[in-house]
Amino acid sequence: MDASETFDVVVVGSGAAGAMTALRAASQGLRVVILEKAHKFGGTSATSGGVMWIPDHRLDGDKGDSQASAREYLAATIGVPVNEERLGAYLDAAPEMLRFLKASGVQVMAAAWPDYFPDRPGARADRSVIVPTFDGRLLGDARYPLMREQYNRFKLFGRYSMDLVETFALMMQQKGWRMTVAKMITRYWRDRATRKVSHRDRRFTQGAALMGATYKAVFDHGVALRLETKLESLVVENGRVTGVNVTRFGKPGVIAARHGVMLAAGGFEWNQALRDRFYPVPGLARHSSTPEDANRGEALIAAEAIGADVEHTRSGWWIPTMTLPMKGASNFHEIHQAAFDVGRPWSVCVNRNGDRFVDEATGYDSFGKAMVEDQLKTGANCPCWLIFDAKFRAKFSAGGLMPTVHTPEHKLPGDWWDHYVFRADSIEALAARIDVPVERLLATVANMNACAKTGVDPEFGRGMNIYDQFFGDPTVTPNPNLGPIDKPPFYAVPINNGDLGTKGGLRCDARARVLDKGGTPIPGLYAAGNCSASPFGDCYPGAGATIGPAMTFGFVAANDIAERSGNQRA
């Protein structure tokens, strides 16, 4: 191999999985490089909510969670056979990884967030962990603008950073929300020193806080970062992966790895051909809510080319999204998540036959699964419709359509109507506008209005568990997720089966080693995050269930590499 550079560990991809692999490996004394094909680092992870699902984390002492109860919960929620040893490795290593993250200077705290199947045995509401905020300028003025920025919707007016508490306060227009807004704006403009350097808020929140704080530790450990460096293929010598072929600024090159190559290059959500190959209902890459120039499955293709196996590739980390054009914005900003909007009162979701198909307030991944199942059954889903009335429109967002308190009707661009947003003075007229059978839609709305009166949804159980209620409106009784759809005008927006990334990928063992089709580890090759198959198979058990395992298996892989290289430290 004619390598231009040699490192102990080569990490492909700069998201959560890659950052943790690099940090842990460097902490063990290994020389590490991160290769990132984009012009910014941090991946989808930096644009995310930054929540990690870590059962039995014990951040606030012993609150009664245990590995046994997490196992019970996972056994009751995972719907396909999974590698039990790998699942066990996750439960063992996740709290250890979190302690290491904390010891590396990253401030972490538990967040009250119900598991996504709150009625299953072993479910809890305290397994999610967040990094509250991070001062982005601690990365240094040269690096601080180089971290990938968040989705516009995660910032107030696309500019002011919001943490999760502020996000929920604004989303629900909780008491004092106007004061919260004023404080956020004042804080930003008072920071004159930063305003001279960048428009970017130095207060990193959510995924930016997680990745900013982690990267501070990564850089402090001397890890090298190469942007604009794309993995093309893997170098194999005598049956062992010993390096990577890359393109850097358009020029081919080879980077050698003495002890291991980590594939942490995200999933394949932006590769339509792989979606078509793996998914029963492929959907469109452009409905994904991850950054559009990033995850195209190149690492998966490179590993398959040397015999790697894949698993759990039939589904993504689903989330309902809607499209709304924004002035001068890319696809990434035009895709709006509607995860919590679809379960608010005074609304209902129907397929194109006008029928309900799900408890709309359920977890976003379950919502997506229900869309796929309904599409396979009826051929009339993906997209489905979110129908709501004037009360909903006044108070809640519907994907990118902000409530009237923020965006009154007269401010909506004329080209949105009858393309992205539909409005009519009666349910009959609305049904005609969106080409849904009038009688069915009338019957569905009448049924929802009856449920709203009793507070009971016998068919789907909407608003009848703590997860649903968590995102409902507490001022609406008797059920915070159900309200009559009866105040004109009535609205409809199409909802797509979007995603936060892909769930399946390279098949790995309990040490994050990539397996070949015979189940044997490919020497020198590791994978973590969405590049690898989820340890949970087809299931999204709780908030943070993608980043939790991504960081945990990055940690596990680095430990394995360090042990094999004889470099392991405490």
> By the criterion CB under 6 A, which residues form the site for ligand FAD?
12-18, 35-38, 43-45, 47-51, 151, 230-231, 264-266, 289-290, 294-295, 298-299, 317, 500-501, 529-531, 544-547, 550
Distant-in-sequence, close-in-space partners of 173: CB < 8 Å, separation ≥ 6 = 395, 403, 405
H-type alpha helices, 8-136: 16-27, 43-47, 67-77, 84-103
Task: Return the number of the residue (49 or 243) whose C-beta is nearest ligand FAD.
Answer: 49
Return the number of the residue (173 or 233) whose C-beta is nearest ligand FAD.
233
Q: Which amino acid is at 510?
A: A
Q: Minimal distance in Å, beta carbon 152 to ligand FAD?
A: 10
- Name the token pair of 209: 């806080």
Distance of closest approach, residue 145 Cβ to ligand FAD, in angstroms? 16
C-alpha separations of 103 from 96, 214, 568 in Å: 11, 11, 17
**Between 14 and 28, CB nearer to ligand FAD:** 14
- Within 13 Å and on the Cβ side, how many CA atoms surround 195? 10
Give the closest residue to 364 by CA, choosing from 312, 320, 313, 334: 320
In angstroms, the CA 253 to CA 230 distance is 10
Please state the closest distance from residue 35 (CB atom) to ligand FAD, in A: 5
- Give least dist CB 431 to ligand FAD, A: 32
Give 289 or 381: the residue with its C-beta nearer to ligand FAD: 289
CB of 418 to ligand FAD, least distance (A): 28
**In what helix (H) or strand (E) does residue 243 lie, and over which residues does it extend?**
strand 240-248
Burial code of 28-52, b = ≥16 C-beta within 10 A, e = fewer? bebebbbbbbbebbbbbbbbbbbbb
Q: Identify which of residues 294 and 522 has a Cβ nearer to ligand FAD in the complex.
A: 294
Q: Of 13 and 480, which CB lies nearer to ligand FAD in the complex structure? A: 13
CB of 66 to ligand FAD, least distance (A): 22
Q: How far is the CB of 356 from ligand FAD (least distance, A)?
A: 27
Q: How far is the CB of 491 from ligand FAD (least distance, A)?
A: 24
CA 431 – CA 348 distance, rounded (Å) = 13
3-state helix, strand, coil in the chain (%, to 5): 35, 20, 40
Give min distance, CB of 129 to ligand FAD, in A.
Answer: 10
Q: How far is the CB of 420 from ligand FAD (least distance, A)?
A: 20
SS3 category, 225: strand
Contact status, residue 487 vs residue 391, Cβ threshold 8 Å: yes
**DSSP string over 186-222:** HHHHH-HHHHHH-SS-SEEEHHHHHHHHHHHHHHHTT
Nearer CB in complex with ligand FAD: 231/431: 231
Give the three-class secondary structure for 103. helix
For ligand FAD, the closer of residues 427 and 522 by Cβ is 522
Instruction: State how far the Cα of 541 lies from the Cα of 527, in Å rounded to an integer.
Output: 21
Residue with tokens 């930054």: 50
**Ramachandran quadrant class, 202 (left: phi over 0; alpha: psi -120 to 50; beta: rest):** alpha
Q: What distance in Å separates the CA atoms of residue 26 and residue 34, rounded to the nearest whole number?
A: 11
The distance of closest approach from Cβ of residue 337 to ligand FAD in the complex, given in angstroms and rounded to an integer, is: 6
Nearer Cβ to ligand FAD, position 235 or 294?
294
**CB-wise, 524 or 544, nearer to ligand FAD?**
544
Q: Considering beta carbons, is residue 402 or 533 the nearer one to ligand FAD?
A: 533
**383's tokens:** 């997209």
Min CB(484)–ligand FAD separation in Å: 32
Nearer to ligand FAD, 256 or 448 (CB): 256
How many Cα atoms are found within 13 Å in the side-chain-facing hemisphere of 471?
Answer: 22
Q: Is the dihedral of CA 547, 45, 160, 212 positive or negative?
A: positive
Q: For ligand FAD, which is the closer residue by CB, 191 or 304?
A: 304
Paired sense of beta strands 521-527 and 251-263, if any: parallel
Q: Give the residue with the Cβ less far from ligand FAD, 295 or 375.
A: 295
CB 16 within 8 A of CB 10: no
CA-wise closest residue to 322 among 540, 486, 153, 440: 153
The Cα 327–Cα 287 span in angstroms is 18
Shortest distance, position 444 Cβ to ligand FAD, whole Å: 30
User: Which residue from 312, 314, 238, 304 is spatially nearest to 516, judged by alpha carbons?
Assistant: 304
Residue 390 CB, shortest distance to ligand FAD, in Å, is 29
